[in-house]
Amino acid sequence: MLCSGHALSPDQPHHFSFGIWVSTLARTGADCYSIRIGRWTEVRQIKVRHMKILSCNSNRPLAEAIAAYLDVPLTKAEVKRFADMEVFVEISENVRGEDVFVVQSTCFPANDNVMELLVALDALRRGSARRITAVIPYYGYARQDRKSGPRTPISAKLLANLITSAGADRVLTIDLHAGQIQGFFDIPTDNLFAAPVFVSDIKARYDGSKLMIVSPDVGGVVRARSLARRLEADLAIIDKRRPKAGMSEVMNIIGDVEDRHCIMVDDIVDSGGTLCNAAVALMNNGALSVDAYVTHGVLSGGAVSRVAASPLNSLVTTDSIPATEAVRVARNIKQLSIAPLLGEAMLRINQERSVSTLF
């Protein structure tokens, strides 16, 4: 629906980048936005239909950024612990008939954050919310997506069952460790990609440079190829072996990285061993510089100090997991915000519009 009038004076326009185009979303009045894509501007009415955003405790700064992007206040709620550390959630606003989005990453402490999400979903279901979407920027337990040996669990599937049983009608997440995890859910699941956010930053830093996109292992080739295609860059692959969990050994580099600015891309960085070993191998093979773009910065144990001491020029993550103090002060680690990406997806879900067209 077009809004009347052509003179616009938005107070706080929001800028976000997807792929090769840049758009600006600016609120110009009650439910009225101007949308600019390149040099074309459309003014239209966007109706947020009974949307509420509830934040648990794992990543409140991201939830606040999403709420600011959508110009929708966070729903008042109390998420606390009893003396014996039981989780208690009380929604302080009426949610009957509302489209509610619960923002909660299941990062460290994973079990506490999972329980907060489940209790919040149950509270909303019993409060008669019309639809409940679990917005899980980082889906914990995703690496346990198959049986790794006899008598081992598939915890990613178990968590999907718990989320569904607790009352979620839909799941919104970003860069699942394996795309097949979407099939663990019996409810609609939208798996967004951080690649558009990364592409904008890479172009701003290395526009015109000779880039080489590098997959740190064979399993990440599809992700790396997608980014290479967006940047019109070549692709290299690190061949590695992992003797045990949390350890990796670089075996070979497939591709010529000499005199190239290498960009490694992955979904999760945990101990940082894979990226740091790969950075050493790339520099030894003549790379001009090595950067890493990783969606989820778990960075457990001594990962931050390991990255700081490595040849990595920079490690760029998103705010799907809140930064620790060590990450904030690290010289070569920075975060990009995915709040506009998640906010736009939530808006489209609320309006029953396509999410896939974001990419």
Q: Which one of 80, 203, 240, 244 is the catalytic residue?
A: 240
Active site residue 47: no
Contact 26, 52 (CB under 8 A): no
Cα separation of 78 and 213, whole Å?
Answer: 45
Q: How would you classify the pairing of strands 40-45 and 234-241?
A: unpaired
Place of tokens 């692709």: 235
Tokens representing 219 are 């399993």
Residue 76's alpha-carbon distances to 49, 50, 90, 124, in angstroms, are 18, 15, 9, 13
* Phi and psi, residue 73, nearest 5°: -65, 150
Q: Token digits for 312?
A: 């990595």
In degrees and rounded to multiples of 5, residue 120 shows phi and psi of -65, -40
Q: Where are the alpha helices (DSSP H) in the chain?
A: 60-70, 110-126, 155-166, 195-206, 221-231, 273-284, 303-308, 325-329, 339-350
Round to whole Å and give the CA distance between 283 and 260. 10
For 271, the token pair is 């101990």
Backbone angles phi, psi at 247, to 5 degrees: -130, 145
User: What CA–CA distances, in Å, run from 6 to 26, 41, 47?
Assistant: 14, 10, 19
Hunting for tokens 């029953």 — which residue is that?
Answer: 352
- The CB-side HSE value for 244 (13 A sphere, CA atoms) comes to 0
Residue 129 exposure: Cα atoms within 13 Å on the Cβ side: 28
How many Å separate Cα 356 from the centre of its chain?
A: 15
> Which residue numbers are catalytic?
240
